Amino acid sequence: MGLAIATGLWLAYSGMIALCLGLERHYKQVWGRPPSSSRRRALRATGWLALAASFAASVAAWGWAMGPIGGLGLVSLAGLALVLVLPYQPRLAIGTAVAGWPVLALATLAG
Amino acid sequence: MKQKTITQSLSWLHTWSGLLFGWVLFAIFLTGTLAVFDKEIDNWLRPEIPAHSLDSREAAQTALDYLQARHPHARTWNIGLPNERAPTLSVSTGEQRRGGGQALDPETGELLQVRETAGGGFFFRFHFTLNLPRLLGIWVVGLAAMAMLAALVSGIVIHKKFFKEFFTFRPAKGQRSWLDAHNATGVLVLPFHLMITYTGLVIFYLIYMPAASDALFGGDREALNRALRGMPEQHAGQGRQPPQEVAGPAPLTALPPLLAEAERVLGPLASLSIHNPGRGDARIEVRPLLGNRIELTKGQSMVFDGVTGKVLRAPAESRPSLLTQRVLAGMHFAQFGGYPMRWLYFVCGLASCAMIATGLVLFTVKRRRRHDGEGALGAALYTGAERINVSVVAGLALACVGLLWANRLLPFELAQRGGWEVRVFFLIWLATLLHACLRPWLRAWQEQLGLTAALCLGLPLLNVVTVNRGDYIPLEVTILVIGGLLAACAWKIGQPAPERALRVRTEVN
């Protein structure tokens, strides 16, 4: 259960980052130049996919009744965390999402 | 006067109802957030209760042995079982009262001397009654919840760039930053805000909307409850019937297999009552722990024959109408989904508090610059709002942690000790209002947040110095983190921001 929730949280965070970078203002904020329109579309599609996967992970963790509640909570908190870190440490906000995946993979293998 | 647009009207509503009800709502949300961990806080407030590793069946047997030895003639024995969240094993005799009973040492089976305390339940009760008389409090809180719903909806409408500024937060830009923070905490956690406010209203639907029950049942709550549960008449008021004839003595059935069966049907158990123990008409009523499912299963139970151990009444399945209400109520109570869900609710609750607090601050920040033009009354109002903001936001936090300090510092033997803890809570809160009125407002924010931070950071130390027992690492780590964040806030306020310092000087003087 713990692992499914952690996966759900990380998917939610990664998804929110992708959606955030899909907005021109924030892409510029991080990379200093505007995104091409195809990249923007790809980022948004990835973001929505990740959020859907996060929802699935929540359902796997809590079941169909409680999963949606937990899933929305995870997405909310992931978004809030991102918004708070982004203006101070934009690269760190993204690096955290990337670095989280190998950690999660290791935890899966160990567990 | 020119006709206002809908956005302007809603903006006016959002601003003023947000300010007036925001003060109450902050208190409701902060204590509600704390109430998510009411049992854990309660454990901290009762350090005399030892941790143990007994399962509920062993604990029930310990309690039963005690009751059989000490209260052989009582008509009813009640046993509160320990669970994952709370190690308390409690016993009482006679009619079951909520939260009553004396704590037993699960290892020795003897009574424990536990300090009298308002307990973690204080935050829970304050959350929905504001410590007013129960019914009045429920009405006030309900009114505030309606205002919250109105503020949420109007907030969505007047937010000009809902999606464009979805991820926007621009710190250190004065009013802009406060608005960004208010929007971000509002928009990103919006599902939670809406859900928790709406479901909060649904809990007391019978109090807020009594028309149907008055019309159909003449206001008879018992009759309504029976109809809602689809219960046949004779099952109502189990255990309250007068004894028709005294049944002869008969030994009580063994508890463990009975509890095992109850656990199989109900999930983890919360408590049991044994009516007429030692007699032929003995009944054993077993209640489940809340939170095996979303539905709030308060009042659900399973009844066994106390001699044969046979099931007399299985738990009733709720009818769809009742189930709907109970699932909504259960979503508010957050007893389901285990600790991960509890943490989600806690952090989302903190986000709600942050949204309300930033909204309150935004009101005054916006007006600091331009209330000169609005006359003496306007100036007095904004200065007053500023003071109340300090006392409601920082002062209430101080009062909450102050209650924890009072729990350790008040003398153990003090009569009405629990009542004194509550009095300390309110005295501190009142003192913060006085303090906020007497000090320059920025200093008042800084000093009250700073003191709250200090009390949070010192809490683990206080525990070591005064009682030095108990294992509260999760609670203590959490409170250290909160203390650290508050200390950072207090420090930040002390830093002179050039534009802000200038603005303060021109306005306060």
Among candidate residues B216, B458, B236, B192, the one with its CA nearest the CA of residue B331? B192
Sign of the C-alpha dihedral, residues A7, A9, A13, A15?
positive
| Cα dihedral B475→B478→B483→B484 (10° resolution) | 150
Give the model's confidence band at B371: pLDDT under 50 very low, under 70 low, under 90 confident, else very high.
low
Among residues B348, B368, B388, the one where a domain terminates is: B368
Q: What is the pLDDT of residue B14?
A: 95
Same domain, B359 and B311: no
Give the one of B167, B195, B293 whose C-beta lies nearest to A86's C-beta. Answer: B167
Of residues B234 and B473, the one with the higher pLDDT is: B473
- Per mean pLDDT, which range of B29-43, B321-335, B477-491, B493-507 is the poorest? B493-507
DSSP assignment, residue B219? T
Q: What is the pLDDT of residue B300?
A: 83
Is B417 part of any domain? yes
Q: What is the pLDDT of residue B106?
A: 82
Residue A15: pLDDT above 60? yes
Q: What is the pLDDT of residue B34?
A: 97
Is B31 part of any domain? yes
Same domain, B2 and B125: yes
Same domain, B74 and B141: no
Is B428 part of any domain? yes
Same domain, B397 and B419: yes
CB–CB contact B293 A65 (8 Å): yes
Residue B191: pLDDT above 60? yes
Contacts of A86 in chain B (CB under 8 A): 167, 169
Q: What is the pLDDT of residue B507?
A: 43
Same domain, B383 and B504: yes
Q: Which residue segment(s) compose the domain that B165 sits in?
A: 1-47+118-226+338-368
CB–CB contact B166 A23 (8 Å): yes
ipTM: 0.94
Q: What is the pLDDT of residue B96?
A: 63
Same domain, B150 and B107: no
Instruction: Please give the average per-residue pLDDT across B476-504, as a whole number.
Output: 81
Give the model's confidence band at B370: pLDDT under 50 very low, under 70 low, under 90 confident, else very high.
low
Residue B25: pLDDT above 60? yes
Same domain, B363 and B447: no
Q: Using an 8 Å Cβ cutoff, are B259 and B269 in contact? A: yes
**Of A77, A88, A89, which to mutate for an interface test with B (greatest number of B Cβ within 10 Å)?**
A77
Q: What is the pLDDT of residue B372?
A: 60
Is B347 part of any domain? yes
Same domain, B62 and B181: no
- Using the Cβ of B205 and the Cβ atoms of chain A, whether some distance falls under 8 Å is answered with no
Q: What is the pLDDT of residue B509?
A: 36
* Domain count within chain B: 3
Q: What is the pLDDT of residue B502?
A: 47
CB–CB contact A80 B195 (8 Å): no
- Using the Cβ of A59 and the Cβ atoms of chain B, whether some distance falls under 8 Å is answered with no
- Using the Cβ of B168 and the Cβ atoms of chain A, whether some distance falls under 8 Å is answered with yes
Q: What is the pLDDT of residue A72?
A: 96
Contacts of A84 in chain B (CB under 8 A): 169, 184
Range list of β-strands (E), A4-56: none
- Per mean pLDDT, which range of B212-216, B420-424, B498-502 is the poorest? B498-502
Same domain, B254 and B396: no
Is B326 part of any domain? no
Same domain, B177 and B272: no
Same domain, B409 and B363: no
Count the neighbouring beta carbons within 10 Å of the beta carbon of residue B470. Answer: 18
Contacts of B189 in chain A (CB under 8 A): 76-77, 80
Give the model's confidence band at B459: pLDDT under 50 very low, under 70 low, under 90 confident, else very high.
very high
**Of A66, A75, A94, which to mutate for an interface test with B (greatest number of B Cβ within 10 Å)?**
A66
Alpha-carbon distance of B24 to B29, in angstroms, equals 9
Is B488 part of any domain? yes
Same domain, B425 and B411: yes
Is B153 part of any domain? yes
Give the model's confidence band at B498: pLDDT under 50 very low, under 70 low, under 90 confident, else very high.
low
How is chain A split into domains, by residue range?
A: 2-110
Give the one of A62, A65, A80 whose C-beta lies nearest to B189's C-beta. Answer: A80
